[in-house]
Amino acid sequence: MDKQPKPGSRGSKLVTIPTFGRAKHIDPWWGLVALVVASIAVLVTVRPDPFRNILLFVRDGVTVTIFITVTAFVAILVVGLLGALGRLSRNRIIHTVSTLYVELIRGIPLLVQLIWWYFAFPVVVQHVGEWLNVSALVNYRANAISTAIVGLVFCYGAYMTEIYRAGIQSIPKGQMEAARSLGMTYAQAMRHIILPQAIRVVLPPVGNEFIALLKDSSLVSVVAVADLTRRGREFMSTHFNPIEVWTMVALIYLVMTLFSGRLVAWMEKRYHPET
């Protein structure tokens, strides 16, 4: 009769007990979002004048702020990816142009760039139109929202370029070598092997850039964009109540940034389930 191996002895098999993973739970920081929303609700209920009037007055500015932020961020993701691939390119011209773009744009404050795009860029276009004798360019006038989006994309695209580049370079070189040995082209290897892994790496800093962009979008108010900040300034200049106005504006920005932060945290857990 064969003897059964003792537990822990050589030849014994370990029996694994199936687990169901971590229990899903609600992020407790959603409570902070709810607290800020409740604070706004209390202010609007207890003192409808002026807090409710402020909220109604700036709500179109909230829409403009969200539209500019989301639209610019989508374009920033594309510009950043192209810039990162350019900086990693072996073509010296492409590499030099991409590097020059990053170094120049990062050295100029965002506010100065927004002012340049709104006030200086139209003059450049008009002069080019006069030189080429094109009436459409001569009569060019800047659109405030479009110009603000372009300014944000150019500025944040430089920072996003470095985030993407760092993420791509963090992937071991053996990944690219293995993909090329399987017959993939460089573009195919980047698309199917390198970039999917790099995106998981850069997700946290990319999320932080979105939150920073949402806050920095308040600077577009200096170039005639009726965003949340500008609408708050207009209400204050009419009613002369800076404490109430800027308290409400700050709370609204806080709700948007906290909500965005929770979404970023959810995405990180989804793409990094081991954390």
| Predicted pLDDT at 192 | 87
| Predicted pLDDT at 78 | 96
Lowest mean pLDDT among 30-39, 190-199, 242-251, 265-274: 265-274
Q: Print the SS3 string covering the chain.
A: CCCCCCCCCCCCCCCCCCCCCCCCCCCCCHHHHHHHHHHHHHHHHHCHHHHHHHHHHHHHHHHHHHHHHHHHHHHHHHHHHHHHHHHCCCCHHHHHHHHHHHHHHHCCCHHHHHHHHHHHHHHHHHHHHHHHCCHHHHCCCCCHHHHHHHHHHHHHHHHHHHHHHHHHHCCCHHHHHHHHHCCCCHHHHHHHHHHHHHHHHHHHHHHHHHHHHHHHHHHHHHHCCCCHHHHHHHHHHHHCCHHHHHHHHHHHHHHHHHHHHHHHHHHHHHHCCCC
Residue ranges covered by each domain of the chain: 49-271
Domain 49-271 is classified in which CATH homologous superfamily?
MetI-like (1.10.3720.10)
Q: What is the pLDDT of residues 180-204, one digit of tens each?
A: 888 888 888 888 888 988 988 898 8
| Predicted pLDDT at 19 | 44
Lowest mean pLDDT among 10-19, 120-129, 201-210: 10-19
What pTM does this model have?
0.85
Q: What is the pLDDT of residues 215-247, one digit of tens each?
A: 999 999 999 899 999 999 999 999 999 999 999
| Predicted pLDDT at 24 | 57
Kindly state the average pLDDT of the residues 106-121.
Answer: 95
| pLDDT over 70 (residue 265) | yes
| Predicted pLDDT at 12 | 47
Kindly state the average pLDDT of the residues 153-177.
Answer: 93
